[in-house]
Amino acid sequence: MTTEVAAPSGYDAFLAAITPTSGLMKTILDPATGGVVGEAPVHSVADLEHAVAAAVAAQPAWAGLGHEGRSAALLRAADAVERSAEDLARLLSREQGKPLNGPNARFEVGSCVAWLRAAATIPLEAETIVDDGQTRAELHYRPIGVVGAIGPWNWPMMITVWQIAPALRMGNSVVVKPSEYTPLSVLALAKVINEELPEGLLSVISGGRDVGERLAGHPAVGKIMFTGSTATGKAIIKSSADTVKRLTLELGGNDAGIVLPDADPKAIAQDLFWGAFINSGQTCAALKRLYVHEDIYDAVCEELGAVAAAAPMGNGLDETSVLGPLQNKQQFDIVNRLVDSAKHSGARILTGGNPPQEQPGYFYPTTLVADIDNDNPLVAEEQFGPALPIIKYSTVNEAVAMANGLDVGLGASVWSSDPAAARKVAARIQAGTVWINKHGAVDPRIPFGGAKQSGYGLEFGVEGLKALGVPQIING
């Protein structure tokens, strides 16, 4: 499961190009093997101040290029990422743990290319609000200035692009603070993108919590984009208050899926599985609570078990792997604790539940848990790993009430052979996005954001571009 796989020489040269030659450094370890991936800089608050100052200086000329000039640069950046895609994917696989194949590392880098191109090409025209012969009012969106982007470790490259691409398109400069777990991936991505951008416009500051706190409260930063836990999001809200920053927060989720009694268990099993286990469950908008009607409960459990058995888990550089390790020990311990609590409560472990002992890597086996109460910690807390609780229900009203029973609402899904019936149920669910017969399928053209304590603000599409600008009315 954890066999070391050698990376090619081209990758070694790529990694060397982002390795610091002096200053404080942090050794980054491969979550699959425990081996050294590389050395990342440990930047300070002073480094952040220099980056913000450079961003302030670079932003006006960038804004002056207009949408056409900025879009052209972003399209060139997308081409540059595409040229370096394999080296980026291999670095991502080693640092984050996700396999090259399946909806994982190569998929993530490909998504970076797609989102850069989408941000560059989605039209954003001035809106005429009133034009009645006496009054004319137009709505425009102007650059904010400097945007701070604070990203997570689960999809470090892709989510960074989700943040920086629309910010740059709208005429802003950006300072990125990556997760301390996955800084190399973001540093490498920024190095490639910066081949096509003016100096100082996009910086990555790879530091600790003190750097993130200063970025969130910095008076020269006009907006913070953050993807991560609800607890950290609340801290950012507090840090940003004195400077009245604009915020886009994509926070924790604990997404529910409801399988209606008319669904075909075999037909939906593959999509159900990947809705839950993409990136080994380490996805904010992954399916984390599955509610199945009692009439088809056993059949759904059986079909999911068959899909799980056919999904190999192993070292990310092994071309046969489609599931990888958890990224860090803290997350491994959370998943292990929650599955153990389910076992002790009397829930039935259909598959998995017993992590390998005395082996390198944070591998937790694909785990399906049946006959579990809705208030069990594995259901009520976000596990963020490869363990799916499957809860039986009797009526749709009961399922909807359970799905809405938590204080989060990022995504949800409804599964049915009747899309019209599924949409009626979807309208009753308190979540920012409700998918029908799929889960977690994001699209750069379609706005995405959370409800309740899963955050606020929209990303993607025209609405995502508008969120990175300051609305201005020209009246007259």
Catalytic residues, by residue number, are: 250, 284
User: What is the distance between the terminal CA atoms of the chain, rounded to a whole angstrom?
Assistant: 68
Evaluate the CA torsion angle 178, 184, 189, 193 in order and state its sign.
positive
Residue written as tokens 């020269």? 220
Q: Residue 51 and residue 404: Cα distance in Å, rounded?
A: 42
327 CB burial (10 A radius; 0-12, 13-18, 19+): buried
Q: Which residues contact 105 (CB under 8 A, 6 or more apart)?
A: 89, 90, 92, 93, 96, 98, 99, 316
User: Do 32 and 325 touch, CB atoms closer than 8 A?
Assistant: yes
CA distance 103 to 321: 11
The amino acid occupying position 270 is: Q
Distance CA 34, CA 318 (A): 16
- Secondary structure (DSSP) of 221-271: --EEEEES-HHHHHHHHHHHGGGT-EEEEE----EEEEE-TT--HHHHHHH
Contact 148, 225 (CB under 8 A): yes
Residue owning tokens 């192993």: 314
Give the pair of three-digit tokens for residue 279: 């990136």
Helices (H), 310-454: 329-345, 377-380, 396-403, 419-426
Beta strand pairing call for 25-29 and 36-41? antiparallel
Give Cα separations from 384 to 181, 202, 353, 359 (angstroms).
16, 30, 15, 22
Scan for tokens 């899904």, then name that residue: 413
Q: CB–CB of 256/439 below 8 Å?
A: no
Alpha-carbon span 447 to 458, nearest angstrom: 6
